[in-house]
Structure 1
Amino acid sequence: MSDAAEERPYHHGNLRAALLEAAGRGLRERGADQLSLRDLAREVGVSHAAPRRHFPDRQALLDALAETGFAQLDSALRAALAGADDAFPSRARAAMTAYTRFATENAALLELMYTSKHRPGATQIVEAAEAPFGLMGELIIQGQEQGALQAGDPERIGIVLFATLQGIASLINGNFVKPELLDALVETAVEQFLRGARPHS
C-alpha cells in the first residue's frame, strides 16, 4: 500500500462520524453480524487500520452504534413533544407515534440498542438509554399531575405503555401487520391507554 493511502485516514474530515454513518447503513442492509471494521474502512476510503483509532474492535463499534441510536431516539421524542401542545393526550400521542416510527424505521438498530444495553459492562449504553426512557417517565408523571392518568407507580404504567408500543413495532417489523397501518394502530393504542389508565371516578 502506498504512503499516500496510509496517510488518508489522518486527513479524513470526521472519520468517527463517517464510520458510524456507514455502519448504520450496513446494519440496515445486512445486519449486525455482517459489519466489519475492514469493510467499513474500504467503504469510507481509508486504510484498514484507520478505524481502530476510534474503535479498538468490532464490539466498540457496535456499542457506539447503540449509544448513537439512543441519542437519535431521544432527539425524535423531544422533537415530537416540542410540536405537541401542553395537554397530556396530545403529548402522549406525539411521543407514542414518534417511538413506533423510530422502532419500525430502524428495526435492526433498535434490536442492537436493546441487546447491547444488557451486555455486561455496557455502562455507557445504559446511560445513553436513560435520556429517552427518562423522557417517557416524565411524560407519565405529567399525565398523573394533570389528572389524565391514575395515581400509582409511574414506572409500572410506563412499562405497560412501552410493551404496547413495542408490540405494535414488533408486529410491523415481523411483517405480521402492514406498515401503513402504524398510525391507525398507534391512535387506537393511545385511546385505549388513556381510557384504561385514567383515574376512577
Structure 2
Amino acid sequence: MEPDQGLRERLVLVGAELLRTEGPSALSLREIARRAGVSHGAPRRYFLTHLDLLAAIAGLGFADLGDRITTALDATPADPRDRVAVVARVYARFAADEPGMFELMFRQDLLESGNLGLRDTGLPVFRLLVDLVSAARPDADQPAVVTAGALWAGLHGVVQLWNWGRLPFATGLTDSGPLVDAVITAHLGAAR
C-alpha cells in the first residue's frame, strides 16, 4: 500500500507548529505523531529516521526564508548592494521571528545525516547572495563566493549571538540592525 502523502505533509506541518510553539526540544517522533492524531509508529512509514523528519521540517524553514527574501527583493531597487542589505535584514528578521526554526535549520547533525534534500534546500539563498555580491563588487580581488561566505558567516554570527542575548547584553543595543549593517559594510564597503 502506498504511503499517504497528505499524512507525510501533515507530520511535517505539525512538527513545524510544535517547533514554533514549544521549541526544538519538543520535536520527538512520538509527540509529533500524537499531535497529528496517528500512532507513534506512523512517522516511520514516511521518514526512516527522526533526523529525516527534522530535516523535512527544516526544509520548510528554508522555503519560508526563501519566500520572504523573494518577496522583499521584489520591492527593492536594482542596486546590488541594496539588495544584499535586504537579504541580510530578512535573514536577521527571520532568525528573530522564528528562533526555533532558525536553530533547527542549521543543526550540524541534520547536515551530517546525509539528507541531501536539506543540503540542497539551503543552497539557493546562498547562491543568490553570491550573485548579488558579484554584482555589487564586480572588480573585487577575491571570488564572490569567498566574500559571500564571509558575509554570511558574519551575519549568521550576529543573528545567532543576538538570539542568544549575548550581543544585546554586550553592546547595550536594542536592535540588531546596526550590527547587520556593519557586517555588510565590512564585506562590501560603505554605501554610496
Same fold (TM over 0.5): yes
Measured in 2, the distance between the counterparts of 1:197 and 1:85 equals 14
Matched, 1:185 2:179: yes
Structure 1 residue ranges without an equivalent (≥5): 1-8
Matched, 1:127 2:120: yes
1:47-105: CA deviation from partner (whole Å, max 9, x where unpaired): 33333332233122112122222222222222221111101232122111011111232
Greater mean alpha carbon deviation, residues 49-58 or residues 89-98: 49-58
Greater mean alpha carbon deviation, residues 119-128 or residues 20-29: 20-29
Asked if the contact 1:63/1:116 (under 8 Å) is kept, the reply is no
Q: Tell me the CA shift for residue 116 of structure 1.
A: 4.2
Measured in 1, the distance between the counterparts of 2:13 and 2:122 equals 20
Q: Tell me the CA shift for residue 191 of structure 1.
A: 4.1
Q: Which of 64, 77, 84 is matched with 1:85 structurally?
A: 77
Matched, 1:159 2:149: yes
The DSSP-based 3-state class of the residue aligned with 2:131 is: helix
Q: Which of 32, 51, 65 is matched with 2:24 structurally?
A: 32
The residue correspondences of 1:1-201 to structure 2 (distance < 5 A) are 14-114=6-106, 115-116=108-109, 118-145=111-138, 150-178=140-168, 180-195=174-189
Greater mean alpha carbon deviation, residues 136-145 or residues 100-109: 100-109
Asked if the contact 1:66/1:116 (under 8 Å) is kept, the reply is no
Asked if the contact 2:52/2:115 (under 8 Å) is kept, the reply is no
Measured in 2, the distance between the counterparts of 1:195 and 1:27 equals 38
CA, structure 1 residues 118+42, in 2 after alignment: closer, same or farther (shift >3 Å)? closer
Q: Scaled by the length of structure 2, what TM-score is found?
A: 0.80
Amino acid at match of 2:85: R
The DSSP-based 3-state class of the residue aligned with 1:17 is: helix
Q: Tell me the CA shift for residue 118 of structure 1.
A: 3.2
Q: Tell me the CA shift for residue 158 of structure 1.
A: 0.7
Measured in 1, the distance between the counterparts of 2:60 and 2:187 equals 30
> Computing the radius of gyration over CA atoms, which structure comes out larger, 1 or 2?
1
Give aligned pairs, total.
Answer: 185
CA, structure 1 residues 52+117, in 2 after alignment: closer, same or farther (shift >3 Å)? closer
Structure 2 residue ranges without an equivalent (≥5): none
Could you tell me the percent identity over the aligned residues? 30
State the Cα RMSD in Å.
2.8
Measured in 2, the distance between the counterparts of 1:94 and 1:196 equals 15
Measured in 1, the distance between the counterparts of 2:59 and 2:88 equals 21
